Amino acid sequence: MFAKQLTVFIENRTGRLSEVLNVLKENNINILSLSLADTTEYGLLRLMVDNAPLGKEKLSENGFSSLLSNVSIIKIPHKAGSLQELLKVIDDNGVNIEYMYGLSIESTDAYVVLKASNADKVDAILTENNIETISCDTLSKM
């Protein structure tokens, strides 16, 4: 199962992140998780939101460059070694992990957002190994 991640390209300057978040707020788009990476000139803001297509549309209307990506939100046991075991399954199937970040959810389990070089193959790997994934809709209800 895929989830849609919204990635926004923003200039690395004071107030720009707040401007992005304000567009989402004004359009009642709820942020479920985020990751911000920066360089000296720009930032990559990766967001899990409750309505990624609307978020992209509204950000574009306000002059922000963004894209939607298929990612996997993966449930793993919250114990030592669980993440490495998950990554080994993916690595053993020859798929490169481009990036990942954790989600904070009130749960006894842990969740990670994972973007791979071949999203379809990862989805098949997760399914055949009975590794649970969730949708943004499920995430927004947690």
Domain assignments of the chain as residue spans, ordered by start:
3-69, 70-140
Q: For residue range 94-106, list pLDDT tens digits in order.
A: 999 999 988 766 6
Architecture of domain 70-140: 2-Layer Sandwich (3.30)
Architecture of domain 3-69: 2-Layer Sandwich (3.30)
CB atoms within 10 A of CB 86: 22
Q: Do domains 3-69 and 70-140 have the same CATH topology?
A: yes
pLDDT reported for residue 134: 82
Region 17-25 average pLDDT: 95
Query: What is the identity of the amino acid at 46?
Result: R
Q: What is the pTM (predicted TM-score) of this model?
A: 0.77
